[in-house]
Amino acid sequence: MGALLNQRFLTLAVLAVVIAVLPLVFPSSYYFRVASLVWVSALAAIGLNILMGQAGQVSLGHAAFFGIGAYSVAIGPAHLGIPPWAALSIGAALSAVLAYLVGRPILRLKGHYLAIATLGLGVLVALVISTESRWTGGPDGMPVERLTLFGWRVSGSYTWYWVTGALLLVGTWIALNLDETPTGRAFRALHDSEVAAQVVGVDVARFKLQAFVIAAVYASIAGSALAFMNGFINPDQAGFLHSVELVTIVVLGGLGSVVGSIVGAAVLVTLPQALTVFHEYEHLLLGLIIIVSMIFMRSGIVPSLSGLFLRRARA
Amino acid sequence: MAEFLQFLVSGLTVGAVYALVALGFTLIYNASGVVNFAQGEFVMLGGMVTVFASAAGVPLPLAAVIAVVAAVVIGLLLHRLAIEPARGASAVTLIIITIGASILLRGLAAIVFDKQFHKLPGFTGEAPIDILGAAVQPQSFWVLGGTAVVVVALYVFLEHTLLGKAVLATAANRLAARLVGINTTTIMALAFGGSAAIGAIAGILVTPITLTNYDVGTLLALKGFAAAMLGGMGNPLGAVVGGLLLGLLEAFGAGYLSSTYKDAFAFLVILIVLFAAPQGLFGRRAVERV
């Protein structure tokens, strides 16, 4: 237990140091922006990883919750006069309620059926967002009022780098802790074998639902953060491709690995930025990279690499 | 009545395309257990290659053949280069590989062709035919007829040829199939090639009605997947019925309820069906695929 505690502490400490040191090597504010995007995507992916890696359930519509979080902070202040920070909480609560209501029937499904159900949910939410243009600005998107906390106007890529970095640290801390709680252990039991988990008395349905709700809240908060940071939001954030991106980050980084989700986000967010040099070939290369990394590191970057190191260490 | 008939025909036409995409899904799923999200790209390739070949002066029938061949080659390459090397990976990993393939193919199409919308002329003219007051495009009959031919041909192939029976055997039990001497790798390649051909045919048939561009594949893949699920994954008949049903739902939903939410009906119904009958309409009862 002591060793585990240390390992958890070590992970957090390393992450904190990385967040603190990176600005020293960043030549321009553009880098702060890209890094903030990585932190936000990583936050959403860590949540999704609790559902996928720990509870073993797939969601192909997770961007829906990301979108709900983003549009809550856009619509709340603009149309309903709700303060931005309250809109963020309301978005998270809405996501949690939706995940709870839909999750109950959906999570009974298995494998591909669960995939299509979550996919359907994602498509529906994205459709509503791009259709109800009176509220959401439609396919063109809508501006988001800046976040103000106790009179402090949070803006600028430098500031948002620290805010999103702090959010990521908190998210990581919670996820790492969850791993060691009875709930986290129940999640992993589910992942290994639902039948076995049921036999030893784990309330399978309840824990799946819990994982789904937690994942939804993570995505929603990440979505709100991105909307505040960009000052603008469009329906793509809730779309199918974004859902795929989140799933890819989780699997690429490594199912069940919190650090993996951060590494996966770093790879998948920075790559397209680097590939803009090749402009025309961006999609081609992205597809190629996804295929190649899935074939050669099918258990994900972090588990594959740490497996390699362990084998080396033993040899 | 005329209105009803109009919706019926357009629903069946779109539904036939969904049915073909769903059939392609089913063929690959049965042979290999892979849910191929790149299925929609075969439809895109069918349309785009035909458009560009015929623009280059190739007669339409020959252009269509070239398009099918091109799609089959891509399908075989997809199997050989992306699916085969990842054998034994988890279902989610394989899904992501096929999504990666679909992004790649879309990027490739945007470079090789362009990002514009393209149209093909109707095979037998464009003048709408009046049926009991409903204006029906002649191309609709091509789509429906073509779909029927593909379905019958696939049925005959699966039920009445040795190779087809080998495909069914592989679908039923891969290990047992291998034990009786069936080369399951060849069967999988066949499934990918076959489904690519089916997808391309769907693309060629429907392009005169719906237009095509490099980006049409994504939504088609989602709808086709939904149709396959609606019918019960792995059941070819279910895929066809699911596809037609989905097309009708969309057409009547758009016609009578709300055209802006046309795409929503499909997924709303899928969710309801899954809540009520988690195995789809014609699915096998839950025997977990391990």
3-state secondary structure chain B: CHHHHHHHHHHHHHHHHHHHHHHHHHHHHHHHCCCCCCHHHHHHHHHHHHHHHHHCCCCHHHHHHHHHHHHHHHHHHHHHHHHHHHCCCCHHHHHHHHHHHHHHHHHHHHHHCCCCCECCCCCCCCCCEEECCEEECHHHHHHHHHHHHHHHHHHHHHHHCHHHHHHHHHHHCHHHHHHCCCCHHHHHHHHHHHHHHHHHHHHHHHHHHHCECCCCHHHHHHHHHHHHHHHCCCCHHHHHHHHHHHHHHHHHHHHHHCCCCHHHHHHHHHHHHHHHCCCCCCCCCCCCCC
pTM > 0.95: yes or no: no
In a domain, B42, yes or no: yes
In a domain, B12, yes or no: no
Q: Is the pLDDT reported for residue B288 higher than 60?
A: no
Q: Which residue of B has its CA nearest to A133?
A: B260
Question: Where do we find the tokens 């074998």?
Answer: A193
Q: Is A284 touching B (CB cutoff 8 A)?
A: yes
Q: Is B286 touching A (CB cutoff 8 A)?
A: yes
Assign B289 a pLDDT band (cuts: 50, 70, 90). Answer: very low
* Ranges in chain A, pLDDT < 70: 1-5, 151, 314-315
pLDDT of residue B240: 93
Contact residues, chain B, for A244 at CB < 8 Å:
96, 99
**Would the CA dihedral through B214, B216, B220, B222 be positive or negative?**
positive
Contact residues, chain B, for A280 at CB < 8 Å:
110-111
Q: Which token pair is A137?
A: 């600005």
| Cα–Cα distance measured from residue B26 to residue B224, given in angstroms and rounded to the nearest whole number | 10
Nearest to B100 among A115, A117, A287 (CB): A287
Q: For residue A208, give how far its alpha carbon lies from the nearest alpha carbon of chain B (Å).
A: 16
pLDDT of residue A2: 54
Q: For residue A34, give how far its alpha carbon lies from the nearest alpha carbon of chain B (Å).
A: 22
Q: Which token pair is A105?
A: 């029937």
Nearest to B264 among A113, A127, A285 (CB): A127
Residues B264, A247: C-beta atoms closer than 8 Å: no
Report phi then psi at A233, rounded to 5: -145, 140
User: What's the CA dihedral at A145, A151, A157, A160 to 10 degrees?
Assistant: -90
Nearest to B278 among A58, A108, A131 (CB): A108
List A residues 47-106 in contact with B (Cβ-Cβ < 8 A). Answer: 52, 58, 105-106
Q: Is the pLDDT reported for residue B116 higher than 70?
A: yes
pLDDT of residue B260: 80
pLDDT of residue B145: 94
CB A144 within 8 A of CB A231: yes
Looking at per-residue pLDDT, the higher value among B150 and B174 belongs to B150
Averaged over B65-70, what is the pLDDT? Answer: 96
Q: How many structural domains are present in chain B?
A: 1
Domain that holds residue B190: 24-217
pLDDT of residue B286: 47
Q: For residue A85, give how far its alpha carbon lies from the nearest alpha carbon of chain B (Å).
A: 32
Q: Which residue of B has its CA nearest to A138?
A: B260
Q: Which token pair is A263?
A: 């590494």
pLDDT of residue B284: 55
pLDDT of residue B283: 62
pLDDT of residue A8: 79
| Cα–Cα distance measured from residue A222 to residue A238, given in angstroms and rounded to the nearest whole number | 12
pLDDT of residue B11: 92
Report phi then psi at A235, rounded to 5: -65, -15
Lowest mean pLDDT among A39-48, A187-196, B110-119, B246-255: A187-196
Residues A113, B233: C-beta atoms closer than 8 Å: yes
List B residues 1-20 in contact with A (Cβ-Cβ < 8 A). Answer: none
Q: Is the pLDDT reported for residue B249 higher than 60?
A: yes
Looking at per-residue pLDDT, the higher value among B79 and A206 belongs to B79
Looking at per-residue pLDDT, the higher value among A108 and B35 belongs to B35
In a domain, B265, yes or no: no
In a domain, B128, yes or no: yes
In a domain, B242, yes or no: no
Averaged over B196-202, what is the pLDDT? Answer: 96
Contact residues, chain B, for A106 at CB < 8 Å:
271, 274-275
Q: Is B227 touching A (CB cutoff 8 A)?
A: no
pLDDT of residue A4: 56
Q: For residue B133, give how far its alpha carbon lies from the nearest alpha carbon of chain A (Å).
A: 32
Q: Is A153 touching B (CB cutoff 8 A)?
A: no
Which of A101, A107, A113, A247 to mutate against chain B (most B CBs within 10 Å)?
A: A113
Residues A284, B104: C-beta atoms closer than 8 Å: yes
Contact residues, chain B, for A288 at CB < 8 Å:
100, 104
Residues listed for chain B: 290
B238 residue type, one letter: G
Q: Is B86 touching A (CB cutoff 8 A)?
A: yes
Residues A285, B222: C-beta atoms closer than 8 Å: no
Residues A247, B92: C-beta atoms closer than 8 Å: yes
Residues A111, B268: C-beta atoms closer than 8 Å: no
pLDDT of residue A64: 94
Q: Is B290 touching A (CB cutoff 8 A)?
A: no
Q: For residue A24, give how far its alpha carbon lies from the nearest alpha carbon of chain B (Å).
A: 35
Which of A283, A292, A293, A297 to mutate against chain B (most B CBs within 10 Å)?
A: A283
